[in-house]
Amino acid sequence: MVNINKILFFVFFLLAGTSVFSQKNDTLYFLNGDKVTGEITSFRYGYFTLKTSAMSTIEVKFDKLSTIYSGKTFEIVLDDRSRIFGSIDTSLIASTVNIVIITGRELKYLSSIVEMTPIKNKIWRRFRGNIDFGYTYTKSTKISQGSFNGLLEYRQRDYSAKLNASALISTESGLETNKKDNIDITLLRYFKKRWFVLGLTGAEQNTELGLNLRLKGIVGFGKDLIHTKSNQLLGSLGISINQERSTDSTKNTINTEGVMALYYKLFIISIPKISITSGITAYPSFTVKDRWRVSYNIKASTEIISNFIISVSMDYSYDSKPASAASSTNDLNFTTSIGYSFY
């Protein structure tokens, strides 16, 4: 896992560096008559993120704008949860834009647009992601903890691919080192009415729960249940087949499990802006009687300077019948980290 994370570290920074070569010819027109030109990288939580040559990256709230222009293609999510793919042209009506699609134009109020994601033409510009690192040490107990998290996403019009990796190493004087590592590759295919299907393959380790290695494959479907400027709720159901090896055995076991997941994101518009993400996944076993696994995570983040983020997170794992009978049934970790996002 450590070698994989090192490779991802360099890949993330390589892709982050390429973003400086993008063209900046999008225009935001303000209600007071001013305008600013740059590259619209996203519209989320009510804010346009614009990269400019003169002022670096700025964020503009939608209610300050009269109209906008961009010749690039966007995936546009509306407040009725429908999706439109098209470019953006100006409108003479205040606080509106014309969405240019194959069949013509659709006039939309800026207040009705929930999210805009560029569908970029160049392959390398379709990547976005983030990385973060954390480390803590307590002298009195001689406990140290290091963490790494990385997400790399490739987005197309109707599908996306995600590479997600994490590593958490905890050491305490006189005790064995605990490791919690995970790497996943997820493919998603999007449909109308915010439905999607997914396929996932990956590997994980959690020595606190007696798990030396779990190889997993998951297929399922889900829906974007709520999607507003400040809230998003996703739900999914699926089935998982995995192979487990415990820390006290070389024998592999094959398991079939159900997968039930909820993911929630809240954006608090304040100074500074705060993003809170939370996800819970339950795995009822079909092959081991009365076995349940549960994974829960909550993370609060805030941007300290452009693209640099500080986060506090909690991870909880539960296994009613862990791979090693001598191991704990639960694992709880708190981490503080600093990271960088790129798009």
In tens, the pLDDT along 85-108 reads 999 999 999 999 999 998 899 999
What are φ and ψ of residue 124, in 5° steps? -65, -20
What pTM value is reported for the model? Answer: 0.79
**What is the four-CA torsion angle of 50, 68, 193, 219, rounded to 10 degrees?**
-20
Statement to judge: residues 193 and 323 lie in one domain:
yes
Query: Which tens digits make up the pLDDT trace of 144-187?
Result: 899 999 999 988 878 899 999 999 999 887 777 889 999 999 99
Whether residues 189 and 50 fall in one domain = no
Q: How far is CA 128 from the centre of its chain?
A: 10
Residue 105 lies in a domain: yes
* Same-domain status, 54 and 168: no
The whole-number pLDDT of residue 98 equals: 96
Residue 285's pLDDT band (cuts 50, 70, 90): very high
Q: Note whether 186 and 148 are within 8 A (CB).
A: no
Same domain (yes/no): 195, 171: yes
**Residue where a domain stops, chosen among 87, 103, 121:** 121
Quick check: is 7 in a domain?
no
321 and 193 inside one domain: yes
- Cis peptide leading into 284, omega within 30 of 0? no
HSE value, Cβ hemisphere, 13 Å, CA-based, for 336: 3
Question: Does 117 share its domain with 130?
Answer: no
Q: How many domains, in total, are found in the chain? A: 2
Mark which of 99, 121, 143 sits at the end of a domain: 121
Q: What is the CATH number of the domain that holds 292?
A: 2.40.160.40
* Predicted pLDDT of residue 2: 43
Based on the domain organization, do 206 and 247 belong to the same domain? Answer: yes
Which comes out higher in pLDDT, residue 155 or 293?
A: 293
177-224 pLDDT, tens per residue? 889 999 999 999 998 888 999 999 999 999 999 999 999 999 999 999
Cβ partners under 8 Å of residue 283, min gap 6? 240, 257, 258, 259, 260, 292, 293, 294, 295
- The sign of the dihedral angle between the CA atoms of 190, 273, 265, 206 is positive
* Nearest Cα to Cα of residue 9 among 103, 99, 131, 107: 131
CB 215 within 8 A of CB 243: yes
Say if residue 330 is in the same domain as residue 245. yes
Rg (CA), the chain: 22
Domain boundary among 76, 101, 121: 121
- At 193 the pLDDT is 80
Which of 109-118, 131-140, 214-223, 304-313 ranks highest by mean pLDDT?
Answer: 214-223
Domain membership of residue 2 (yes or no) is: no
**176, part of any domain:** yes
Q: What mean pLDDT is predicted for residues 247-253?
A: 86
163 shares its domain with 67: no
Tell me, what's the pLDDT at 185?
A: 97
User: Does residue 343 surpass a pLDDT of 90?
Assistant: no
- The token duo for 120 is 């970029």
Task: Tell me: do 74 and 209 sit in the same domain.
Answer: no
Q: Is residue 216 part of a domain?
A: yes
Q: Are residues 117 and 170 in the same domain?
A: no
What percent of the chain shows pLDDT beyond 90?
59
| pLDDT given for residue 16 in this prediction | 46
Position 283 in a domain: yes
Q: Could you tell me the residue range of the domain that residue 249 belongs to?
A: 126-342
Report the range of poorest mean pLDDT among 41-55, 235-249, 275-289, 321-335: 41-55
* Average pLDDT value for the chain: 87
- Taking alpha carbons only, the member of 155, 184, 228 closest to residue 8 is 184
pLDDT value at residue 59: 86
Q: Same domain for 111 and 140?
A: no
pLDDT digits (tens, 9 = 90+) for 313-342: 999 999 999 988 888 999 999 999 999 987
> Quick one: pLDDT at residue 99?
96
Does residue 64 fall inside a structural domain? yes
Q: What's the pLDDT tens digit per position in 14-63?
A: 444 444 444 568 999 999 999 999 999 889 888 898 888 766 788 899 99
pLDDT value of residue 20: 43
State the CB neighbour count (10 A cutoff) for residue 17.
Answer: 10
The verdict on residue 158 lying in a domain is: yes
